[in-house]
Amino acid sequence: MNLPIHATDPTTALLTLVLAGGRLAPRRQLLLQSGSAQAALIAGPAQWRAAGLDRRQCQQLLNPDPAALARAQSWLAGSGNHHLLGLDDPAYPALLAHAPEPPLALFIDGDPALLWQPMVAVVGSRNASPSGQALAGRLAGELAACQLCVASGLAAGIDAAAHRASLLAGSPGVAVIGTGPDQSYPAGHVGLQAELAQSGAVVSEYPPGTPPRAGHFPARNRILAGLSLAVVVVEAALRSGAMITARLGAEAGREVFAVPGSPLNPLSRGCNRLLRDGAGLLESIDDLLPALPALARLLAESRPRQLPGTAQPPPFPLAGHAPQVQDQRRLWQALDDIAVDLDELAHRTGLTVARLSAILLDLELAGWALQTHGRWQRSPKPPSTTASFDAG
């Protein structure tokens, strides 16, 4: 058999591997063992079979569906901010790469760098109560105020309430969908999906043209859980997609929180079951924030030196070796994108709470630090000059 000509271009090679379909694990193994999609195709049928690909998959690698390939290429080249990110790419989000069953590739409509931001999944029932939707919106707004990206599945009910509240707060959000990136489900969310793609990111492992299928939505939940530092379940029946997301989050080592409710309410039974099984009880954002720094540090340490559309954290604004400047620099280095309390900062820096409070006040007044709910983080938009910074 002749080797596929599709190995000449990296993007076409990756699309060919994605469009081969069938079992994901053999294709993932082939890609990672080969080091790139091009090398995977060049390896040839013997290596494909050794990796576990079946006869149909091998035939698809040799002769991919031209219509499906053209449709995917057209979407990537079309208007908008469209991307394809393979598992072998250094820009592939580290938390997802190390979660169980990571996708072979991600189709992204929006900003791929957003997938490296600390995010929290807010999920729940499609038939949510008005109070449940209001609570999901409040939590999403509080997460946005803490510079945490809100992620969900673009479904009706809790998902939509969380997405809309995040957008209202001016925070980019992430939607993980169970269709191709050019499809919208439910159909009534086409506008919401477009808003999320414009300011945040819409993510799918399915190629353009893929319609909604029942089996895709439980599968997409593993991506939602894998991208997130924590999963928050607001309302859920015992048998629901939100419960699947919570289970997958726990299996991926993520923090899982649930909002308690009346045992007489069917939409509270899933949450109450999660609490009984060890999930964290969530009544406000303050129950969630202390659980996030460890995974957030792992995310920051894994981050590539440069991602498209991002810049490195700004250097500390002051030079010198005076004791007060050294303390300020030490605190600046201890701050990150996740808000932490004074006790955590004291542990990181070795400074007293009194000394930290004084330095943080200077940093806040200068626009370099941000306080939310009594916790501190680096400002997402520090000033470009240091003229107003008080060195004393």
In this structure, the answer to whether residues 329 and 292 fall within a common structural domain is: no
In this structure, the answer to whether residues 48 and 178 fall within a common structural domain is: no
Q: Is residue 70 part of a domain?
A: no
Q: Is residue 307 part of a domain?
A: no
Instruction: List the beta bridge partners of residue 150.
Output: 120, 173
Q: Is residue 311 part of a domain?
A: no
Q: Is residue 69 part of a domain?
A: no
In this structure, the answer to whether residues 174 and 227 fall within a common structural domain is: yes
**CATH number, position 351:** 1.10.10.10
Tokens 């419960």 belong to residue = 243
In this structure, the answer to whether residues 209 and 336 fall within a common structural domain is: no
In this structure, the answer to whether residues 116 and 262 fall within a common structural domain is: yes
Q: Name the domain count of the chain.
A: 3
Range of the domain at 157: 95-299
**CATH number, position 220:** 3.40.50.450
pTM: predicted TM-score of the whole model, two decimal places: 0.80
pLDDT at residue 314 in the model: 58
Q: What is the pLDDT along the chain (392 residues), one digit of tens a residue?
A: 455 656 678 999 999 999 999 999 999 999 999 999 999 999 999 999 999 999 999 999 999 999 999 999 999 998 879 999 999 998 999 899 989 999 999 999 999 999 988 999 999 999 999 999 999 999 999 999 888 899 999 999 999 999 999 999 999 999 999 999 999 999 999 999 999 999 999 999 999 999 999 999 999 999 999 999 999 999 999 999 999 999 999 999 999 999 999 888 899 999 999 999 999 999 888 898 888 876 776 676 666 644 544 444 556 655 545 567 788 888 887 887 777 778 878 888 888 888 888 888 888 888 888 887 777 888 766 665 444 444 44
In this structure, the answer to whether residues 176 and 217 fall within a common structural domain is: yes
Distance of alpha carbon 189 from alpha carbon 202, whole angstroms: 12
In this structure, the answer to whether residues 145 and 248 fall within a common structural domain is: yes
In this structure, the answer to whether residues 189 and 292 fall within a common structural domain is: yes
pLDDT at residue 84 in the model: 97
Q: Is residue 259 part of a domain?
A: yes
pLDDT at residue 2 in the model: 52
